């Protein structure tokens, strides 16, 4: 009997089922608990079938990270549709990044693990190429926005700095603030007194003021801008964060 030939749609659905199962293991037991053997026990597929989709645990981790990054890329494009000045649009990107991490904390932390634990080098070549392509789709609109803002004279690029370096600096502040303040801060007296959103916006304002990005933070009501961004662009993420908070109090 000839083996059954699955359509691309069926293969994609099966792979998504595997990813969802892997995420549930991570969510309930932590990233260290994820193994191919444990995944096979929870799925109606053989180990060989799982290996047809993923070459290793790290390949699964990178696939989850890629899925999350694709969502972030879509979110960044949405942020840049905000009806405001160029600085407010850049602020919307950072607010969107934070809200997405708060609405999808497990996926965000998997992304942190992938970026810091060498998972990428252990994943398949196809998965790594997909990762690079998603990064390009994620960053290209940001590069374009910064370039347009500089060319319009709305901000000043420091001497010797390229657009890509500016984007990296902003990403470092964004990513670093979230990592430091979204986890357990009870063991650090300084961090326990800080609010993630407030400190992120403060840090971004300091950086953008240093670039003379008009209007300066002192000259516009950025708090009102943050509220508009949440209401007009990221209402679904705000609602999901509220839902998660309600579950914690039940």
Domain limits, the chain:
1-54, 68-249
* Domain covering 68-249 in this structure, CATH number: 1.10.357
At residue 6, the pLDDT reads 64
The architecture of the domain spanning 1-54 is Orthogonal Bundle (1.10)
CA distance 69 to 77: 12
CA distance 218 to 198: 15
pLDDT tens column, 196-211 = 899 999 999 999 999 9
Model confidence at 113: pLDDT above 60 = yes
- pLDDT of residue 160 exceeding 70: yes
Average of pLDDT values for 98-125? 83
Are 194 and 203 a contacting pair, CB within 8 Å? Answer: no
Please, what is the Cα angle at 73 between 167 and 108, to 5 degrees? 90
Cα angle 207, 210, 214 (rounded to 5 degrees) comes to: 95
Report, as an integer, the average pLDDT of 169-189: 74
Please tell me the pTM assigned to this model. 0.85
Helices 57-79 and 8-29 pack at an angle, to 10 degrees, of 100
pLDDT for position 183: 62
95-133 burial, b at 16+ Cβ within 10 Å, e below that, comes to bbbbbbbbbbbebbbbbbbbeeeebbeebbeebbebbee
The pLDDT, as a whole number, for residue 19 is 94
Angle between helices 86-103 and 163-182 (to 10 degrees): 40
Higher pLDDT, 202 or 109: 202
């Amino acid at each position: 009997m000839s083996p059954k030939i699955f359509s691309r749609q069926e293969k994609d659905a099966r792979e998504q089922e595997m990813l969802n199962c892997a995420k549930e293991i991570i969510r309930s037991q932590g990233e260290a608990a994820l193994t191919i053997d444990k995944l096979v026990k929870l799925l109606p597929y053989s180990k060989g079938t799982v290996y047809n989709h993923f070459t290793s645990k790290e390949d699964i981790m990178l696939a989850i990270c890629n899925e999350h990054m694709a969502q972030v890329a879509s979110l960044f494009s949405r942020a840049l549709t905000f009806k405001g000045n160029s600085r407010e649009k850049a602020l919307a990107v950072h607010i969107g990044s934070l809200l997405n991490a708060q609405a999808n904390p497990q996926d965000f932390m998997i992304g942190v693990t992938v970026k810091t634990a060498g998972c990428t080098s252990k994943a398949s070549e196809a998965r790594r190429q997909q990762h690079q392509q998603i990064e390009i789709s994620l960053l290209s609109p940001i590069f374009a926005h910064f370039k347009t803002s500089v060319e319009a004279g709305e901000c000043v690029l420091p001497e010797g700095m390229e657009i890509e370096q500016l984007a990296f600096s902003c990403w470092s502040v964004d990513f670093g603030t979230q990592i430091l303040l979204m986890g357990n801060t009870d063991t650090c007296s300084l961090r326990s007194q800080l609010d993630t959103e407030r400190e992120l916006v403060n840090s971004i304002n300091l950086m953008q003021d240093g670039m003379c990005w008009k209007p300066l933070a002192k000259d516009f009501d950025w708090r009102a801008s943050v509220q508009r961004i949440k209401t007009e662009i990221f209402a679904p993420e705000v609602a999901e964060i509220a839902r998660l908070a309600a579950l914690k109090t039940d």
